[in-house]
Amino acid sequence: MERPFVLVLGSGDVASAVAHAFFIAGFPTAIQDHASPATLRRGMAFSDAAFTGKATLEAVVAARCEPGDALREMLARGESLPFVVGDAIEVAGRLRPALLVDARMRKRVPAERLMGLARFTLGVGPGFECGMHVDRVVESQWGPQLGRVLSAGHAAPLEGEPRIVGGAGRERFVYAPARGVFRTDASIGAGVRSGARVGTLDGEAVPAPMSGALRGLVHDGVRVDAGMKLVEIDADDAPLCFGLGERPLAIATGILRECRTFPREGAPLP
């Protein structure tokens, strides 16, 4: 029997780790996002495929494609991960996956009801409630429960403060002070000094908040809302700017473990 078709909503570091895990495990898998995702940790995600057509994460290539014959062929060949651009609910409704994972990590945005869009649905992080929005909720908060799949209730609420990395918490980020278009010619992984300009927001300089490596940097030309993260600095001696992160990998591992027991007779490929 063929493994069931999986659709992962979102292309940030968590969603990308989930899609990567399913793909490596042999599930026909596609990933979805809109045309201009404001992903921060782009070196740890597939989101650049929305802009350049392809993105590679730990030897797995995501390639942008349209639903239809091209998507079916890509899934059947299993050589790369299809990246579908469009509204999440519309894409899910059109592709009708057997397994649907919402890993968009939208924090305070109210969760949407996904039950009925797939035979089995999972939502990652706060906002989702089992039986109301999805079949299962996945814990996304750091701690002993990280990656645990819940069959009742909801995940822990947002803590409000970023985890300490390289000795820095919130101060390692730059947040957009207003809505605007972010422009940059800097690159993920590049070293910067505190105060150096790493981009502009509607023409106003965006300086590095501290010295270190650019772990996070929104793609050039993306329109962002006030309060969104634009830049992240990793001041650690061994900065982690590329590959699968510890937290995304733990979440992906928990989801894959839960879904390995899912009936193998999958829905037809879209």
pLDDT, tens only, 207-220: 999 999 999 999 99
Tell me: do 134 and 14 sit in the same domain. Answer: yes
Which residues span the domain enclosing 118?
A: 6-154+246-259
Read off the pLDDT of residues 191-211 as tens digits, 9 standing for 90 and up: 999 999 999 999 999 999 999
CATH number at residue 100: 3.40.50
Q: How many domains does the chain have?
A: 2
Whole-angstrom Cα distance, residue 146 to residue 64? 30
pTM listed for this prediction: 0.93
24 with 7: CB under 8 angstroms? Answer: no
Supply the mean pLDDT for the chain. 92
- Residue 122 three-state SS: strand
Shared domain for 192 and 142, answered yes or no, is no
pLDDT for res 58: 97
Shared-domain flag, residues 202 and 81: no
Distance from C-alpha of 81 to C-alpha of 54, rounded to nearest angstrom: 10
pLDDT for residue 270: 55
Same domain membership, residue 185 and residue 110? no
Task: Provide DSSP, 70-115.
Answer: HHHHHHHH-SSEEEEES-HHHHHHHH--SEEEE----TTSPPPP-T
Of the chain, the percentage scoring pLDDT greater than 90 comes to 77
Sign of CA dihedral 133, 163, 204, 177: positive
Predicted confidence (pLDDT) at residue 64 exceeds the cutoff of 70: yes
* Residues 195, 129 share a domain: no
Q: What is the pLDDT of residues 140-176, one digit of tens each?
A: 998 888 989 998 888 888 777 777 777 778 899 999 9
